[in-house]
């Protein structure tokens, strides 16, 4: 494989907004009388479009009611995003910079419609040649449309790109699109990511030189 592009999920890969999302989802679901814990977040919500996540829990709501619920979640998230700091995974950012220095194009691809806000707050926007947000595709993960869109914007095919993901649905999305896919085990559950080509706890465990060596052998 000749590696020409790298596509990074945002939440859980480049930045840690999981605490903010979880707090927003939990606040909203509790209003509807549903208990919501981190295991529910990881199983039903993480990496998926907002409406799909809400539908997985609020099965009793119709379409319009579901929209009200997702709007509530969004308002809570934006409030927490404004108030709370964002943790940046420095090892991931260092890898992005190493790729860019070597001429490997980099993109962000996230299901979140808040992607530009998060990148802006974290001051990461200028690092990427392409940005795909939840506004840019129709089929949510594990459908590969999100990553295929990112590859297209980089002017590359899936066979030339590597995908970095921390969620089960995201890893499946990458593999379904024909991408070499690396899973980040942020939640101490590597079995959820086993479909990935490689699973690591952090990208500090997989430096640029090692990635190049591995991909050349594929």
Tokens 């840690």 found at: 16
Q: Are strands 15-16 and 87-88 parallel, antiparallel or unpaired?
A: antiparallel
What are residue 109's DSSP bridge partners? 132
Tokens 């009611």 found at: 65
Instruction: Retrieve residue 157's tokens.
Output: 């095919």
**Catalytic one of 9, 40, 46, 166:** 9
Q: Cα separation of 102 and 55, whole Å?
A: 43
Q: Is 9 a catalytic residue?
A: yes
Given a contact cutoff of 8 angstroms between Cβ atoms, the answer to whether 13 and 164 are in contact is yes
- What DSSP line would sit under 79-140, residue for residue? HHHHHS--EE-HHHHHHHHHHHHTT-EEEEE-S-TTHHHHHHHHT-GGG-SEEE-TTS-SSP
Question: 10 Å Cβ neighbour count for 172?
Answer: 20
- Sheet order of strands, 180-184 included: 130-132, 105-109, 5-8, 161-165, 180-184, 198-200
Catalytic residues: 9, 11
């Amino acid at each position: 494989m000749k590696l020409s592009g790298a596509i990074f999920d945002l939440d859980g890969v480049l930045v840690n907004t999981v605490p903010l999302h979880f707090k927003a989802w939990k606040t909203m679901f509790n209003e509807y009388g549903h208990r919501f814990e981190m295991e529910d977040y990881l199983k039903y919500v993480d990496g998926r479009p907002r409406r799909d996540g809400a539908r997985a829990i609020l099965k009793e709501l119709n379409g319009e009611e579901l929209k009200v619920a997702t709007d509530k979640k969004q308002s809570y998230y934006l409030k927490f995003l404004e108030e709370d700091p964002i943790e940046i995974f420095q090892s991931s950012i260092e890898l992005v910079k190493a790729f860019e220095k070597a001429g490997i194009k980099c993109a962000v691809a996230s299901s979140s419609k808040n992607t530009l806000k998060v990148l802006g707050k974290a001051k990461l926007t200028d690092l990427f040649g392409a940005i795909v947000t939840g506004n840019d595709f129709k089929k949510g993960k594990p459908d590969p449309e999100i990553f295929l869109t990112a590859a297209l914007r980089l002017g590359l095919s899936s066979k030339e790109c590597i995908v970095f993901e921390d969620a089960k649905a995201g890893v499946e999305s990458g593999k379904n699109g024909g991408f070499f896919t690396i899973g980040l085990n942020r939640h101490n559950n590597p079995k959820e990511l086993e479909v990935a080509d490689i699973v690591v706890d952090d990208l500090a465990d997989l430096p640029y030189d090692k990635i190049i060596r591995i991909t050349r052998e594929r």
